[in-house]
Structure 1
Amino acid sequence: MKRFGINKPTATLLSLLTLGFFTLLGGCSQNQPPTATVESESQNTETVSNQESATLKNLQAAYNGESNAHARYLAFSKKAEEEGYLQVATLFQAAADAEAIHAANHAAIIRKMGAKPEATIATPEVKSTLENLEEGISGESYERDTMYPEFIEQARKDGNQDAVVTFTYAVEAETEHAKYYAQAKDNLDDWRENTMTFYVCPECGYTTNDPNLAVCPECGTANNLFLSVS
């Protein structure tokens, strides 16, 4: 199991760890999804320093994206609670915790490469819970289908296995988030009463509502270490 030195975190600790690198901006700004920095095969044969590598740029983009997602989902959770969708509020809180884990994992690899994690956090644009779920589905689907696969491909070209692992952890969790957001969107009235607990793996951010998992299916972390969000 690949570890990045953040075993047994709490959601609060992860938030503080991640927020320690944030640059906060006032005003309302719509986040643009990160795009991959991809080098050609010929470029990849040249010797480049870690400070200049495409994978490092992708790690920084992913760190920025996950940091913004963390802030955004916390705001979405508060809105869902205000509108009476208590189960949706719990889901967004669990997703926010997972994004903090992803950001912390990415940050650990960035620091290992000799750079400083940097993120610019935009004030989240909060709409109705239905619209927020739709935005969540769009964002997670983009990361699952486009962003992280491209980042993983480039990390493999660069021979950076640590980056491959942290990107893979993230893409698997985003897949689960998109699934749950779609379920909530399609059955919104049934997601008012908070009857479901979500469990977040503290190592990779995998998110599930299944209490019977013995270990995380992605990284093997024991379920008694999972963060419980209800």
Structure 2
Amino acid sequence: MNVLEVANLNKYFNEPVRNQVLKNVGFQVERGEFVAITGKSGCGKSTLLYLLSTMDTDFEGSIMIDGEQMKGKTNRWLAAFRNRHIGFVFQFHYLLPEFTSLENVMLPARKLGEYPVGEIEQRAMQLLKLLNVDGQALKRAGLLSGGQQQRVAISRALINDPLIVMGDEPTGNLDSANGATVFGLFKELAIERKQTVLVVTHDEDFARRADRRIYMADGSILDA
């Protein structure tokens, strides 16, 4: 079953001049598939990921997630859909520095409002432990190392048990050991939890070990 279907996707930037950055992009991703998106800097892979995550809504074409068409939806609808179904891991963590690690991880689930606070806290602690940062749970995020912050950010992306986990260079600021831990976690999510993982990466080893690689060049997909 396809959880993501992209068809005839085009994207333009209009400043300083009109420039087409994605050209008739189309592909499908199945539930539980672990896909790496690769290509040289400037090829459009991060732009594609932001469209797929629904954080950028200015595009031509079709993006279907779990049978829902993303085109034409209101920002409020998209925000609710994104919080429930998409976990996003940025290259930079975007944690709230004055909040503890635990509070940062709990935020999306508290916003979703489906579970009592005590259960959310328990789930958050389990994720922090999974990523070996449970010892930093009560420390303010601004006091953590870069690697610790990124692992907290990954925990936050997983708190609502999303249908799709998307990452933009999620291991880019991690050493090889932490990077391997993150890869192993993503692989586990795909195999054991049937969560779809879609990651933009420059890491050749990471991309090679994914289930499938989508290779981009000059705004187009050359190989999927």
Pairwise same-fold verdict (TM > 0.5): no
Q: Point out which structure has higher relative CO (alpha carbons under 8 A, 6+ apart).
A: 2
Higher strand share: 2
User: Structure 2-normalised TM-score?
Assistant: 0.28
User: Structure 1-normalised TM-score?
Assistant: 0.27
